[in-house]
Structure 1
């Protein structure tokens, strides 16, 4: 096995470990690993990432469900608009983006570069959420559910997740906390099920008869990530997830800045 594949699969395990430890964030690294280490074309990498994230999140969600940390009503409440949005994004919006979006005598903005830059911006947004402390619990005063805001938040999350191939947990968890009155631990478990459903639906929306997928790479990467979830769930009993989340947030921020710099200036 080539050294690049070994490194890529090692990082795939780290993706799962992070997901198992803090419930979100690890999947944001799938696309950079696929593109920069394993050499997958960026648009295809976002499709691969949806499959990896979705399958891995199922295993993470089942672990949380065994601990009674999933609110299935809120999975449906957020999941339905999110599923519709991510499917439309992968089936209609992404395929219809032109290969060249902007061109001058000195600069041409290709579709693949645009997607990586948008992905980097999402990484920076995610890093801010990770670095900023989140409440461990919420107060009972946040009582009534704002269904309109939940619906539009679900649409936005699906659009972002579908476009860049990330799970969107960094957006879903705050929405569950502040729009749906969900305690932090249950928000993490609920988020994993929403991420799993939207990611796999997005992947299905991306499948086309003319598309050739490297299933060997995809399934091996996914298996390594799933292994990481179990390792992360075990380590979560021994490691302070909040401290790890902050450190990981700074790493994701640095990665986002690096991607923007590499794609636009190097």
Structure 2
């Protein structure tokens, strides 16, 4: 086994471990691990990430369904515009983006650099959300504004399709503030939405890229094993402190990616 793949599989275990420990966040590392450790190009890496994230979120959803934490009505309303946006983004928008994304004199920004820069920006947003670690309280039972909810869902779907991350740090606040559900239900419902969005987005990619199924399934299985290890270890670790610590780690990773991509321009 090549050293790159060995390190990649260790990364897959770490992704699952973080997901199992704090219920989210680990998927934000999938693309950097695939790109920088294994050497897969960003477009293929975001596609693979959708499969890994979707499968991992599905495993978490099964657990939450048993606990009766998933709000299926809200999930249905959210997921329809979101998964349509994800599918169309992966099927048509990503292939339509030119390889030379931007050029000004001697400065050339390629499609791969643009995707990784966008991903890094979302990493910074996710890290700040985890570092702040608000508990979140639903203060009212106001009627849902379905028009705003629809466009929020579609926007998150486009971002999910572009960068291959689950987008839980965007979905959870949307569910809390627009659907008026508790933090626990928002986290559980977001996993179902992430699973559907990611797996349908991946379907849009199957038609555009050659998939190395042996590698992808191996990577995903190792990640799922990590989830179960993380769920077990979470009984012994302070979840709030862990989430904040991981937030700082993601912040450093985001800054590293931005710096590396800027140096390659």
Query: Shift in Å at residue 172 of structure 1?
Result: 0.7
Aligned counterpart, 2:123: 123
Aligned counterpart, 1:20: 20
Instruction: Give the length in aligned residue pairs.
Output: 264
**Deviant stretches of 4+, over 3 Å:** none
Show structure 2 runs of 5+ residues with no match: none
> For 1:151 and 1:259, how far apart are their aligned partners in 2?
32
Query: Shift in Å at residue 138 of structure 1?
Result: 2.7
Partner SS state of residue 108, structure 1:
strand
- Within 5 Å, give how 1:49-128 maps onto structure 2: 49-128=49-128
Partner SS state of residue 12, structure 2:
helix
Query: Shift in Å at residue 12 of structure 1?
Result: 0.8
Alignment RMSD: 1.4
> For 2:191 and 2:132, how far apart are their aligned partners in 1?
20
Aligned counterpart, 2:194: 195
Query: More deviation in 232-241 or 252-261?
Result: 232-241
Contact in 2 for aligned 1:142/1:178 (Cα 8 Å): no
Post-superposition Cα deviations, 1:87-137, rounded to whole Å, max 9, x if no partner, equal: 111111111000102224422111111111111111111111111122254
Show structure 1 runs of 5+ residues with no match: none
Aligned counterpart, 1:227: 225
> For 1:25 and 1:76, how far apart are their aligned partners in 2?
23
Aligned counterpart, 1:243: 241
Partner SS state of residue 181, structure 1:
coil
Post-superposition Cα deviations, 1:200-240, rounded to whole Å, max 9, x if no partner, equal: 0100011226x321111111110011111112222233322
Query: More deviation in 26-35 or 130-139?
Result: 130-139
Contact in 2 for aligned 1:31/1:46 (Cα 8 Å): yes
Query: Shift in Å at residue 182 of structure 1?
Result: 1.4
Partner SS state of residue 115, structure 1:
helix
> For 2:204 and 2:134, how far apart are their aligned partners in 1?
33
> For 1:119 and 1:214, how far apart are their aligned partners in 2?
23
Aligned counterpart, 1:259: 257
> For 2:232 and 2:73, how far apart are their aligned partners in 1?
27
> For 1:248 and 1:12, how far apart are their aligned partners in 2?
16
What is the TM-score when the length of structure 1 is the normalising length? 0.95
What is the TM-score when the length of structure 2 is the normalising length? 0.95
> For 1:113 and 1:29, how far apart are their aligned partners in 2?
17
Aligned counterpart, 2:176: 177
Query: More deviation in 97-106 or 5-14?
Result: 97-106
Query: Shift in Å at residue 143 of structure 1?
Result: 3.2
Partner SS state of residue 166, structure 1:
coil
